[in-house]
Amino acid sequence: MCRRWRACCGAVGRFTAFRFTVDASPSQAVVLARHAGASRFAFNQCLALVKEALEAKRRGVPVVVPWSGFDLINAFNSWKCSARAGRRFVVDAAGSAEIVATGLSWRAQVCQQVCEEAAVDLGRALTAWADSRAGKRPGRRVGFPAFKRKARTRPSFRIRCKTTKAGRASIRVGDLTTGPRSVCLPRIGILRVREDTGRLRRMIRTGRAHIRYATVSCRAGRWTITVTVEAADLHPACQHPARPDADSSGDWVGADRGLAALVVAADTTGREVARVDDAPRPLRAALPRLRRLSRQVSRKQRGSRNRAEAVARLARVHLRVANVRRYFLHEVANRLVKTHDRLALEDLYTAGMLRNRRLAAAISDAGWADLARIIGYKQRWRGGQAAVAPRWYPSTRMCSACRAVGPALPLSVRVFRCGECGHTADRDVNAAVNLAVWAEQHHAQTRDPEVRGPVINASRGDGSGRRPRAGETSPDDGGTLPPRISVTAGTPEKGGVS
């Protein structure tokens, strides 16, 4: 099985990322900051060219507005070599002066892919704004792109991985010439990293992964490299066994997210299969230190070096809080995904629940949205399914025995008691059972939060066909269902707090 799997690993099927902390020297930190500044400059200049073209078009001047990433790259390349970007006066021996276009004087000091990727990012932002304005993009309305400020923008840039004719990649991870714990970037050189790159090197060496691009960013004074690769599917031993076509429902496990217990999972029979009540709650643990450092920042004079150092200390604590929370959420998601191939989650409206000033800190510290997102893509990797119940599904108020919906329960009540049949159960277990039952009944209509519609594992040329018209039979009324449904649990939306 292992040899056969390695032989067919040429077809990659998923994107994943590896993040490494850069152990940069002072000179390398200057080079990284220069590239981040070039990326910000290119984004702002491309946006200025777009606004200038829009203003000229508004005055009636026939001009083509650069809109896509390709057009923005061409516009920026033409501008950076023109006299508008840089010029100098040359005086000859006769005393006559001449203007010579030099363009950007520093453009040879940075990798040109940094500016190109910044133009691509602006093109995506413009497309998102246009689609949101035309009603083609779901969710909140996207505003017009704004200029990036140095003081408020996180230093970051992206470089694509190109392959030479000799087969040498421009981005190399831990090869023989650079060392095991290193990443080599074009025009930047070898960067030492603190983490081990052995797993990524093995995947690249065996052909199970191909580097697409690397993103370098700085947060809290610490530079990191995120290497995004297109990797092969997981080994069949790590994936869930395929279910027969006749097994269209069953074995669903509902996962209820809450504050007293981060996750409580139960199946349709009412059996509790998992409970996570030992969440670290890093924000609450670091709150005294955060308050002390915040007071130190407020006491420093604005613009002073002491204030900058105090802000850096505060940012490092916030970064540690985020890292501890992310690490624990990955552990919880792995525990659920490895043991259950069908999970049902609740569509929580986290943004609305954060308006409650008494629960906002606890909800933010729980990380419900990240947990749902991580479970979604890990289930896809392993061939499982993740269903998302509707926002207004009364999982907490419904009785898992008789399906009667009762009144809302306050948070202090941890035991559910049905007023119709007298069924008594733990509040979180009852909600998890209701989610599992809902997934069994409606798993064919589960939706992907990213596309806001039904999802099937079909190729691009196939699909679910046209929608039924009035009077026709829909899949809910006994029509043919797709053999396999796959849903990503992404954005958190509205629901109750457990």
Q: Are 434 and 400 in contact (CB under 8 A)?
A: yes
Q: 313: closest CA among 445, 221, 389, 395?
A: 221
* pLDDT for the residue 237: 87
* pLDDT for the residue 102: 82
- Integer-rounded Cα Rg, in Å, for the chain is 27
pLDDT tens-place string over residues 67-112: 999 999 999 999 998 888 888 777 777 777 777 788 888 888 999 9
Q: Are 415 and 429 in contact (CB under 8 A)?
A: no
Query: Which residues of the chain form CATH 3.30.420?
Result: 251-278+324-462
Residues 312, 316: Cα–Cα separation, whole Å: 6
Please list the active-site residues.
256, 346, 428
Give Cα 98 to chain centroid, integer Å.
Answer: 52
Residues 292, 304: Cα–Cα separation, whole Å: 19
* pLDDT for the residue 473: 35
Q: With H, G, I as helix, E, B as strand and everything else as coil, classify residue 497.
A: coil
Pick out the chain residues at pLDDT < 50: 1, 3-8, 10-11, 445-496
Please provide the size of the chain in residues.
Answer: 498
* pLDDT for the residue 497: 54
Residues 201, 173: Cα–Cα separation, whole Å: 7
Residues 51, 338: Cα–Cα separation, whole Å: 50
Residues 295, 201: Cα–Cα separation, whole Å: 45
Q: Are 290 and 316 in contact (CB under 8 A)?
A: no
Fold that domain 251-278+324-462 belongs to in CATH: Nucleotidyltransferase; domain 5 (3.30.420)
* pLDDT for the residue 173: 92
* Alpha carbon distance, N-terminus to C-terminus of the chain: 44
pTM tops 0.85, yes or no: no
* pLDDT for the residue 235: 86
Q: Are 237 and 180 in contact (CB under 8 A)?
A: no
Q: Are 156 and 216 in contact (CB under 8 A)?
A: yes
* pLDDT for the residue 149: 94
